[in-house]
A and B are shown apart, each in its own frame.
Chain A
Amino acid sequence: MRFSAQVESKLERLLASCPPGRKRAALVPMLLFIQDEVGAVTPEVVEEVSRRLEVTPAEIEEVASYYSMLRRRPAGRYHIQICTNISCLLMGGAELFEHACRKLGIGNHGVSEDGLFSLEEVECIGACCWAPALQVNYDFHHAVTPEAFDRLIEQLRQSSAAERRE
């Protein structure tokens, strides 16, 4: 399995950062970087990483199943992660999440039918002073009101449509 030049170069730098004889140290970031491109940690990905790092598939399963950002099935193109932990909760994060569920017509860990959006209720993402906050993939959005959320969804829909036209 080969990945894009950009990801391969990232993986190369990652491996170079490991001490000699310690390739396994690359495992967690490697799974995440590959997931960014492939969409999920699939059996094929596990096999490929196993080969590259000389770690058994069983050991990879142990690791992959531990970390909450690693998933076995792809998310939507825009994976929306809404924090409902304490600071965001105090600022309406839970209500924002419920609004998101209604707006997108999906629940926690759900993926919209067109594959464009997925939704996840997450723990603290480190944006407590700018609550309620969410991430779209890796991008932070702060002080998100329900209205701001609706605008965000619109923007994402439009930019996805624009990309399809190009």
Chain B
Amino acid sequence: MLHPEPHPLEVAVLTRRFRLPNSASIQTYLAHDGYQAFRKALEMSPDGIIEEVKKSNLRGRGGAGFPTGLKWSFVPRQSPKPKYIVANADEGEPGTCKDRLLMQYDPHALIEGMLIAARAVGARAGYIYVRGEYRYLIEILDGAIEQARERGFLGRNILGSGMDFDLYTHSGAGSYECGEESALLESLEGKRGVPRLRPPFPATAGAFGCPTVLNNVETFCAVPPIVLRGGAAFAALGTPRNGGTRLFAISGHVRRPGVYELPMGFNLLRMINEVAGGVREGRKLKAVIPGGSSCPVLRAEECDLAMDFDSVARAGSMLGSGGVIVMDQTTCMVRVAARILRFYAQESCGFCVPCREGTAWLAKILARFHGGEGRAEDIGLIADIAHNILGRTFCPLGDAAAMPAAAFVEKFREEFEAHLGGKACPFEEVAAHV
């Protein structure tokens, strides 16, 4: 799954141990700074740790991009309730396959990141919520946890510090919505993956109603380097307010699809043309989804773009999970839109009206449209339905469906029009199956 060598343009911070032999073992980990950051954190004050994370400008790597240090600071200092650290390893966003590599090749980095978070907020137990399909990674993580426990990094009185911390993996069973933090917590508690009313937020009432730090796998993995080398150093690798590096999963019509660690703010066109080897078979770039299917699509001419949260947001899309999906000139955008909406309709938890009814409606219209039975008014209707969902749902899944739908009809309107009048899909060499 890894290319034999990292790309020269990569900056290896989170991925620096990936290609070491037995990279997942604790011996390898310890031989390469493993648990040094945690030892350092034990000497720091909890507030000091949070300060360092704030300085790093680390923002959530799951998709929302919320400043991590700030999130940790919301956990009350004192609480009669136990506190928890939860890692979101649900990785369901289409186009995203980076956390998988972190857990496969460097599981101890996740453990260490969670340990440091535990130290920072005073948590005594943690869960790694892993999507059900990633069974082999649960096994790897369980092995790493066992190793860590044997070496005294988990359990009671860790390294004689007086700190206790227990860590467990917890399997999902097939639900994209369980990647949403409050729905994840519901699933962790043995319920349907339906999100919660917020406030309160997980920081004050999370797992089992207790204060909880909940972050993406990659976010936790970034914490040890931040603590070890300082937040400022991490921040400097990126752009202002968008610190550090991140893992980009580049997929689709490129010569060298793969997961690459690049500095925040790296140019998208360079990413595609230099890092990922350019569009396959010398074809023309047509469109790119920059951060997983929830992000509005960019036309080729919009791709000269710095890949950080703020720049992509200004361009009308999102950095999201860093899942860069590249589409060349052979791609039928209507088919892509239809397939993406089908996904959201399938994954909608069904709790709230606009998402439940709206995603199903969009999926049906788009499927009909790609099948050649579209009407001219459907194009405006799609945009209108998307507008009616946007900002009105119980959780962001509604937006995740509405924004792509709106973007496809807005930016590729001519392609939708080309499907009208009972014509067969102009991109015939790709099957009509949606």
A–B touching in complex (CB under 8 Å): yes
Residues of chain A touching chain B, judged by Cβ–Cβ distance below 8 Å, are 17, 19, 22, 24-29, 31-33, 53, 55, 62-63, 66-70, 81, 84-87, 89-91, 94-95, 97-98, 123-131, 135, 138-140, 142
By a CB distance below 8 angstroms, the chain A residues around B257 are: 128-131
A-B contact count (CB 8 A): 159
By a CB distance below 8 angstroms, the chain B residues around A32 are: 132, 171, 173
The answer to whether B339 touches A70, judged by C-beta atoms less than 8 angstroms apart, is no
Contact A128:B327 (CB < 8 A) given known A67-B193, A70-B174, A87-B252:
no
The answer to whether B327 touches A67, judged by C-beta atoms less than 8 angstroms apart, is no
- Cα A63 to Cα B208 in complex, Å, equals 17
The answer to whether A123 touches B347, judged by C-beta atoms less than 8 angstroms apart, is yes
By a CB distance below 8 angstroms, the chain A residues around B132 are: 32, 67, 69
- Cα A90 to Cα B434 in complex, Å, equals 11
- Cα A63 to Cα B349 in complex, Å, equals 12
Interchain CB contact (< 8 A) of B190 among A63, A89, A138: A63
Interchain CB contact (< 8 A) of B336 among A62, A66, A81, A89: A89
Contact A128:B171 (CB < 8 A) given known A25-B190, A67-B132:
no
Instruction: State which of B93-101, B266-274, B300-308, B415-423 sits at the interface with chain A.
Output: B93-101
- Nearest chain B residue, comparing its CB with the CB of A24: B190
By a CB distance below 8 angstroms, the chain B residues around A128 are: 94-97, 249, 251, 257, 323, 325
The answer to whether A126 touches B91, judged by C-beta atoms less than 8 angstroms apart, is yes
Binary flags per residue of B161-204, CB closer than 8 Å to A gives 1, else 0? 00000001011111110000000000111111100000000000
Contact A123:B289 (CB < 8 A) given known A28-B190, A131-B257, A138-B136:
no
Residue B253 at the chain A interface, CB threshold 8 Å: yes
Contact A31:B173 (CB < 8 A) given known A63-B190, A98-B431, A126-B91:
yes
Binary flags per residue of B247-259, CB closer than 8 Å to A gives 1, else 0? 0011111000111
- Nearest chain B residue, comparing its CB with the CB of A60: B190
Further 4 A-B residue pairs, CB within 8 A, beyond A25-B189, A67-B132, A90-B251: A28-B171, A31-B173, A32-B132, A89-B335
Give residues 288-324 of B contacting A (CB, 8 Å): 289, 293, 323
Binary flags per residue of B340-354, CB closer than 8 Å to A gives 1, else 0? 100100110100000
